[in-house]
Amino acid sequence: MYKCIISGLIMLILPFALPAAELPEDRAQQSVLRVEPEVRLSGRLYSFNMDSDGSYYLKDNWVKGSVTLTNGETAEGVLLNYNTYLGELIWLSEETYRVVQVDKNLVKQFTLDQPGVSGPAVFQRLRISMPLEGDSANIYVQQLYKGDIMLAVRRRVVVTGERLESTRGTLRSVPRLRSDPVYYIIAEGSDAYEISRLNRRSLYSIFPEKRREIRAGFRDERLYIRTEQDLIRAVSVIDSIL
């Protein structure tokens, strides 16, 4: 297994950076470009400095993780975070202290360590259709349950409004963020089905031919779906029925 070195395409996008990614002045001129012939993952260098009421990130700080490429190679023990507003994987080079948005098209899956939890959070790239736009898009989803069927969630935040605050006598608006996860059922060799609401009826609509058996299974488990953990339990019941 080769060590993956991510080469950055030096291009600034939205002003964006984690506090932990602030660069010492003497490192600011270092090149972010490094290449190993065996493994090459491209991304673009950026900074982001947008204030908000709520966090743009899944984690409060950088965490260790791994990135598996579509060619099967894996970079392990790298510093990562996930931007839930942009839906992008962020990598911090420990050599250059540069922050890189990893090219989504080259990523198969990635993991984020979860201190105090058994096992890392596992994310995979998923292509979904967007009927309203008449197109499709690549997104990252986190695996919550994996059996013959898989339950996955797209971790995201959305802007729900703004808050005015005064800075040195000047009023400015700060976006207010809210967590807005989207859940999917994924079966082997089939499309991803979005779960429209956290209730039993949404699951019945995905498996109409098994509605009666699933309903009986939920009744036996005295299962009502109000939380993410309830949903995980519900998909486990469905998996045992299919």
| Alpha carbons 238 and 209: distance in angstroms, whole number | 12
What separation in angstroms does the CA of 27 have from each of 79, 93, 161, 174, 230? 18, 12, 37, 31, 48
Structure tokens at 109: 């899956």
End-to-end CA distance of the chain: 37
Confidence of residue 36 (pLDDT cuts 50, 70, 90): very low
**Whole-number pLDDT of residue 130:** 63
Average pLDDT score over residue span 155-184: 88
Residue 40: what pLDDT?
A: 54
Q: pLDDT of 59-90, one tens digit each?
A: 989 999 999 999 899 988 899 999 999 999 99
**Confidence at residue 69, expressed as pLDDT on a 0 to 100 scale:** 92
pLDDT in tens, 8-34: 433 333 334 454 444 333 333 333 334
| Two tokens, residue 150 | 């898989």
Q: pLDDT-derived band of residue 4, with 50, 70 and 90 as boundaries?
A: very low
Q: Please write the tens of the pLDDT for every residue from 98-156.
A: 888 999 999 999 999 998 888 899 999 998 876 555 567 899 999 999 999 999 999 99
Domain boundaries, the chain: 6-125+165-176, 198-242
